[in-house]
Amino acid sequence: MDPQRWGASRADRPPPRFLDELQDAVIRGVQVRLGYVDSTGADTKRTVHPLGIVAKDPWWYLVATTETGRRTFRIDRVSSVDPTDDPVHRPADFDLAESWREIADEVDRRRMPVEIQAVCAPDGIATLRMALGDRLEVGGPTADGRVEVVIRGYSEYTLAGELAWQVEWLEVTGPAGVRDQLAAIGTALVERYG
C-alpha cells in the first residue's frame, strides 16, 4: 500500500520496524511470539495468530487472534517478533475488510460515546456533513419538512460547542444535557455581546 497522494511530498514517517516480519507471517500463515508495549508502557509477550495488516494513515495495525480473542496491535508498538512454525488458526469466514470495519466502528464508539438526536432544515444537511463527517447519521423527514439526524461526539459540552453555530438549521431534541449546554452558550453570548 502507498498511502501518499499524487503530488504530495514524501511521507516523513518511515514504515514501522517489524512491518516486513509481520507481513511475512501473515503471508506464510504462521504464528508469532509478539513483544508489545501498550499505551500505558507495559511490555507484554504473547503468541498471536496474524490474520492481516491494515494501514490507517499514518499508522499500521496487525489484526490477530490471541488466546483471549481478536486483538488489534499498532505495529509501531511492537517490540519483538519471533515467527514460529505453528500454523495460524484462521476462522473460515474471516474477511479482513469486514473485520477492520468492525474494529474501526468500535473505536469510533469508544472515542465518541455521546449521541444526540436533532432535526435539521434540509438546507443545513450538507454543512453538517462537511463539519461532522461520519459522526452524522441522516434519517428520514419529519412532518414539518425537517430531517431527523443523530450526531456522535466526545461529550455533551463539546457537542454543544460544535453545534451552537448551526442554530439557524438545527434543533437538538435530546438529550437534555446538550440542550442545557446550548442554552448556557446562548446566555454567555448574550451577556458578552448583547
DSSP class per residue in 88-144: P---TT--HHHHHHHHHHHHHHHHS-EEEEEEE-GGGHHHHHHHHGGGEEEEEE-TT
- 114-160: pLDDT as tens digits: 999 999 999 999 999 999 988 999 999 999 999 999 999 999 999 99
Number of neighbouring beta carbons within 10 Å of residue 99? 17
pLDDT for residue 12: 62
pLDDT for residue 8: 62
pLDDT for residue 152: 93
- For residue 99 the three cell numbers come to 473485520
Percent of the chain past pLDDT 70, that is, above it, reads 93
With beta carbons less than 8 A apart as the criterion, state whether 115 and 132 touch: no
The count of C-alpha atoms lying within 13 angstroms of the C-alpha of 140, restricted to the half-sphere facing its C-beta, is: 2
**Mean of per-residue pLDDT scores for the chain:** 90
- For residue 139 the three cell numbers come to 434519517
Nearest CA to 51 among 106, 110, 103? 103
